[in-house]
Structure 1
Amino acid sequence: MKDYPTKGIVPPMVTPLLDQDTLDVGGLEKLVDHLVTGGVHGLFIMGTTGEGPSLSYRLREELIQRTCSLAKNRVPVLVGITDTSMVEALRIAKTAEKEGAAALVLAPPFYFNITDQELREYMDEVLEQIQLPLFLYNMPPLTKKSIPLPMINELAHRPEVVGVKDSSGDLFYFHKLNRLGNRQQYSLLVGPEELLMETLLLGADGGVPGGANIFPQLYVDLFETIGEGNIDRGRKLHNRIVELCSVVYDGTEQSSGNIISGIKQALSYRNICSSAVAHPLQKVSKKKANRIKSFIEEYTD
């Protein structure tokens, strides 16, 4: 399916694994069906929640091929191509195009501290060589680089740039991004689900919430409820999402692993896929697993 999502809920899909370099194929099929049945508007693979940087290139290509095939013509697939190597980012982009992905998602390359000029030249070169539409991905907690607002304003004038995914968690940045002069030319999706209701009310076009892997209908309901202007029901759904975050994402340290391993543990209790994560991430503790299990049982009763 070629049409990329401009609005709605686009889960950052986890990558079901059996071990460090083996895709949980059965789990992937169940997960895609679970998300599509839940009413999501697209799938985003190989992002942070999908453990993209931890996957071998062989596994990434297999994931793209299988996910695009499983999604068929039901929902569009967005593919994360962020890498430390431009050559590899472009190679993954070509695989995504060949397999029928709808769009690409690109964050600043991580590891090196880079200047604004270096980032701009990197993005310009990627844009010159790709064939699919592109979402810019602002994720400064992990890339060490926030995409400057003037750069987004300039890049969004290019026809290849169709959206921005902001996972900064910075509401002031979001407000300024939402007020850029050419804002109507691109879709604005927000990552942190604790801010989903607020940002939808403020003008975001949708969200990329990790918890939608577990309960996609919950997040779709919130999106639709806010669109209908039903704030009271929206608050109730929002509170449920905050409760999910407090249980599934809880951890003693600030770690992406707390979120990813928590989501996978929850999915295993829903009999959707394995709870295995790629190193350096680790599975959740027994104590946290029990809390997640109780939450899943309560919610699905």
Structure 2
Amino acid sequence: MSLPTPLTGVVPPVCTPLTPDNEVDTASLARLVDHLVEGGVDGLFVLGSSSEAAYLPDRHRRTVVDTVVRHVAGQLPVLAGAIDMTALRVLDHATAARAAGADGIVVTAPFYTRTHPAEIARHYQVVAERAGLPLFAYDLPVSVHSKLGADLVLELAERSVLAGLKDSSGDEGGLRKVLLGRTREGLDSFTVLTGSELTVDSAFAMGADGVVPGLGNVDPHGYVRLARLCRAGDWQGARAEQDRLTALFGIVDVGDPTRIGPSSSGLGAFKAALHLRGVIDCPVTADPQLPLTEDEVLRIGKHLAAAGLL
């Protein structure tokens, strides 16, 4: 299917269910897609941070894209992360995404290497010229150590290098600059999506087109309600729904930081919640992440019950 311009609404970054031996659980992945579609989401984003893309070998990445595109069968647009250190490596992932039938790709700035803003621009230009799919920039400075400045994003949008932006920088001022620049330059077809689960109402109020919420795996209906309330201008209702989701987001903090890292805690929480809700068979996260304890999972269950999800 062709991507709407701009792409709007709720586009969750789909978790990657795994078997106990770290293979992709395609049956659980298909059920998760059904869970999201039934929740009313507007698109799907596979192979992002919440998908554990950084932990997956290339064969797993291909399996994920193939499974989701085939299962969704054109009901919704599917964006695929083509995330790697430099442009030529990104293009290998883009080729696989295009072959699987993805509708667009999502790409970070280069990482591991030290780059100049001109080289970041060149990175996106090279990928856009050769990928054969609409290209979304993924602003994720906490992981790639390069912030995509508003001026650079808007310049690439004006040159039709970028179809959109997924802003997971946490820089609300920077997001506003992009949105103001989009209006000023008449870039109406350029998609701007926030990656923050906790400030969706604020992002919509600023003019964002949608949200890519990792927590949307657990509660897609909640984020769809929130987006609809924002579009309707019911800001009081939106705030109440945002507050409920913010409380639910507390599941990502149940992991003991003296024992496991934030990735193990956050991604483990999403998967534990999906397992408790009966969506996926196994809550295991990819090696070398460490599992949550039984007590931590019980605490996640209490969060779910408080949010009306159990």
Contact 2:248/2:304 (8 A) holds in 1? no
Deviation at 1:2, TM superposition (A): 3.0
In structure 2, how many angstroms separate the alpha carbons of the residues matched to 1:20 and 1:60?
Answer: 16
Q: Distance in 2 between matches of 1:204 and 1:257?
A: 30
1:300 matched to 2:301: no
CA distance in 2, matches of 1:185, 1:68: 24
Stretch deviating more after TM superposition (104-113 or 222-231): 104-113
Q: Shift in Å at residue 15 of structure 1?
A: 0.6
* Mapping of residues 114-193 of structure 1, within 5 Å: 114-180=115-181, 181-182=184-185, 183-193=187-197
Is the contact between residue 157 and residue 185 of structure 1 (CA under 8 Å) also seen in structure 2? no
Unaligned runs of 5+ in 1: none
Maintained 8 Å contact 2:14/2:50: yes
What is the TM-score when the length of structure 2 is the normalising length? Answer: 0.92
Question: Residues 92 and 114 from structure 1, CA distance in 2 versus in 1: closer, same or farther, beyond 3 angstroms?
Answer: same
Judging changes above 3 Å, is the alpha-carbon distance between structure 1 residues 143 and 195 closer, same or farther for their aligned structure 2 residues? same
**Which structure 2 residues correspond to residues 230-249 of structure 1 after superposition, within 5 A?**
230-249=234-253
- Comparing 241-250 with 167-176, greater Cα deviation is found at 241-250
Q: What's the C-alpha RMSD, in Å, of the aligned pairs?
A: 1.7
Q: SS at the partner of 1:164? A: strand
1:21 shift after superposition: 4.1
Shift of 1:160: 4.6
- 1:16-39 Cα offsets, whole Å, 9 max, x none, are 111464111111011000000100
- Does the 8 Å contact 2:252/2:267 carry over to 1? no
**Pairing 1:37-186 to 2, within 5 Å after superposition:** 37-180=38-181, 181-182=184-185, 183-186=187-190
Looking at structure 2, the residues matched to 228 and 215 of structure 1 have their Cα atoms a distance apart, in angstroms, of 20
SS in 2 for 1:283: coil
TM-score (normalizing by structure 1): 0.95
Percentage identity across paired residues of the two chains: 31
The farther-off stretch of 179-188 and 26-35 is 179-188
Does 2:293 correspond to 1:285? Answer: yes
Partner of 1:31: 32
Deviation at 1:282, TM superposition (A): 2.0
Which of 263, 266, 270 is residue 273 of structure 2 equivalent to? 266
Kindly provide the amino acid, as one letter, of the partner of residue 34 in structure 2: D
SS at match of 1:49: helix
Conserved 8 A contact 1:32-1:67: yes
- Taking the aligned partners of 2:24 and 2:302, their CA distance within structure 1 comes to 28
> How far is the alpha carbon of 1:185 from its aligned partner?
3.8
* Distance in 1 separating the partners of 2:143 and 2:252: 20
Whole-Å separation in 2 of the counterparts to 1:127 and 1:250: 40
Report how far residue 252 of structure 1 moved. Answer: 4.4
Q: Distance in 2 between matches of 1:236 and 1:120?
A: 40
Cα contact 2:10–2:213 (8 A) shared by 1: yes
Q: Which segment drifts farther, 157-166 or 63-72? A: 157-166
| Total equivalences in the alignment | 301
In the superposition, relative to structure 1, how do residues 252 and 176 fare at CA in structure 2: closer, same or farther (>3 Å)? farther
Contact between 1:137 and 1:164, CA under 8 Å: does it hold in 2?
yes
Structure 1 counterpart of 2:283: 275
**Distance of aligned partners of 1:109 and 1:285 in 2 relative to their CA distance in 1, 3 Å threshold:** farther
Q: Kindly state the Cα deviation for residue 174 of structure 1 after the two structures are TM-superposed.
A: 1.3
Corresponding letter in the other structure for 1:210:
G
CA shift in 2, pair 1:86/1:212, >3 Å: same
In the alignment, is residue 228 of structure 1 matched against residue 229 of structure 2? Answer: no
Q: Decide whether the 8 Å contact of 1:16 with 1:28 is kept in 2.
A: yes
